[in-house]
Amino acid sequence: MTHRIALIPGDGIGLEVTPAGVRCLEALAQRPGLNFDFTEFPYSCEYYARHGTMMPEDGIEQLRGHDAILLGAVGYPGVPDHVSLWGLLLPIRREFQQYVNLRPVRLLRGLTSALRDRGPEDINYLVVRENNEGEYSEIGGRLYDGLPEAMAVQATVITRKGSERILDYAFRTAQSRPRRRLAYATKSNGIKHSMPFWDEQVAAMAPQYPDIAVEQYHVDILAANLVTHPDWFDVVVGTNLFGDILSDLGPATAGGIGVAPSANINPDPAIPSMFEPVHGSAPDIAGQNIANPIAMIWTVVMMLEDLGEQSAADDLMGALEAVTGEGKVLTRDLGGNAGTTEFTDRVIAELTG
């Protein structure tokens, strides 16, 4: 079975961690029956500097024929976010209707939590983020721009269809986990229209999943509880913005942003999903071989799972956690002094040795 993988290393440390991920995949491809066909796409701020767009006009079409997209990171100082992100990352998520953004938060063996007295048994939940609509809608504009009366209006759009598909995914994910708990983030006590509608969608779906314990949290309290009671959480579902915030906050308690993986999923196998570390391009540390490749390697694990390669995924995750658990070879952000390649070498040695 050959999996066609589109690689978009992007910018900054994306150019260092993507090869780390690819090397793990190549090591796994030594096994009989597992093959990858990689095609690299140079879409990036670099590309923008040369062509004036982040990707060619048919960029999405070029990506479409692949089984998965593996993205490093995009963004570069001087290129405004609305160019780098709205010209690449967000269109991929939206045009392929990757409506699930899945972000595991788990303290890997050997890593130290920023929370007092918390170990791997306390921090193990999954943030399921709606990834296509909500607070990231493009609807809105300005009135009286430049005048003292100026204002901006931004629409949040939550649809029943969009809510149902992400909530359904979240409920089913909760069913696959031993604790079968689903916490949902809302803010219906303060935000009058979108959030009560969201709550109603949860309430309407819950009876179909009587085996799941559903708990409502206003997002402010939820954020607080991820710090004070991380052990309460199993699956956490939120709208685009709330999922974004909670899935950066979670990793901050579990080894930092350098270890956090993510998957942008369209469950339809005919449409490629995109896998990317949560971290950005980190221009301040780029090019020095010091970036932490854990987020990318874990992201590759998520990609393997999505491609149906569960045993390869398990083996890679096992190798990764064996290395962190040993605690000898770690990058600087985790208090070690290994480089990106050295850490990756160690994982591959563990995997193949």
Ligand X SMILES: CC(C)[C@H](C(=O)O)[C@@H](O)C(=O)O
Which residues lie near a copy of itself (CB under 8 A)? 81-82, 85-86, 90, 112-118, 135-142, 144, 147-161, 187-198, 219-221, 223-225, 227-228, 240-241, 244-245, 247-249, 251-253, 256-257
Selected binder of ligand X within 220, 231, 314, 326 (CB under 6 A): 220
Task: Tell which positions 72-91 bind ligand X, by CB under 6 A.
Answer: 85
Least distance in Å: CB of 53 to ligand X?
A: 18
- Find how far residue 131's CA is from the centre of its chain: 10
**Residue 290, binding choice from a copy of itself, ligand X, none, Cβ under 5 to 8 Å by partner class:** none
Q: Which is nearer to ligand X, 133 or 244 (CB)?
A: 244
Name the residue nearer to ligand X (CB basis): 190 or 269.
190
277 touches, from a copy of itself, ligand X, none (C-beta below 5 to 8 Å by class) = none
Enumerate the β-bridge partners of residue 166: none
| Minimum CB distance to ligand X, residue 157 (Å) | 16
Token pair 């009587």 in the structure block, residue: 210
Give the Cα separation of 165 and 69 in Å (integer).
22
DSSP annotation of 134 reads: B
Binding at 156: pick from a copy of itself, ligand X, none (beta carbon under 5-8 Å per type): a copy of itself
Residue length, the chain? 353
Backbone torsion region of residue 213, taken as left when φ is above 0, otherwise alpha when ψ lies between -120 and 50, otherwise beta: beta
Residue nearest to ligand X (CB): 190
Rounded to 5°, angle at Cα 15 from 14 and 18: 70
Contact 105, 225 (CB under 8 A): no
Minimum CB distance to a copy of itself smaller for 51 or for 160: 160
Pull the structure tokens for residue 155.
Answer: 């629409």
> Choosing among a copy of itself, ligand X, none, which partner's interface includes residue 197 (Cβ < 5 to 8 Å by kind)?
a copy of itself
Per-residue tokens: 117: 């007295």
For 223, the enclosing helix (H) or strand (E) is helix 219-228
31 vs 193, beta carbon nearer a copy of itself: 193
Residues of this chain, 164-203, that bind ligand X according to CB under 6 A: 189-190
- Give min distance, CB of 33 to a copy of itself, in A: 40
# residues contacting ligand X (CB under 6 A): 5
Query: Is the CB of residue 326 less than 8 Å from the CB of residue 6?
Result: no
Give residue for tokens 């931004």. 154
Contact by Cβ (8 Å): 158, 134: yes
Q: Which residues would be at the binding site for ligand X (CB under 6 A)?
A: 85, 189-190, 220, 244
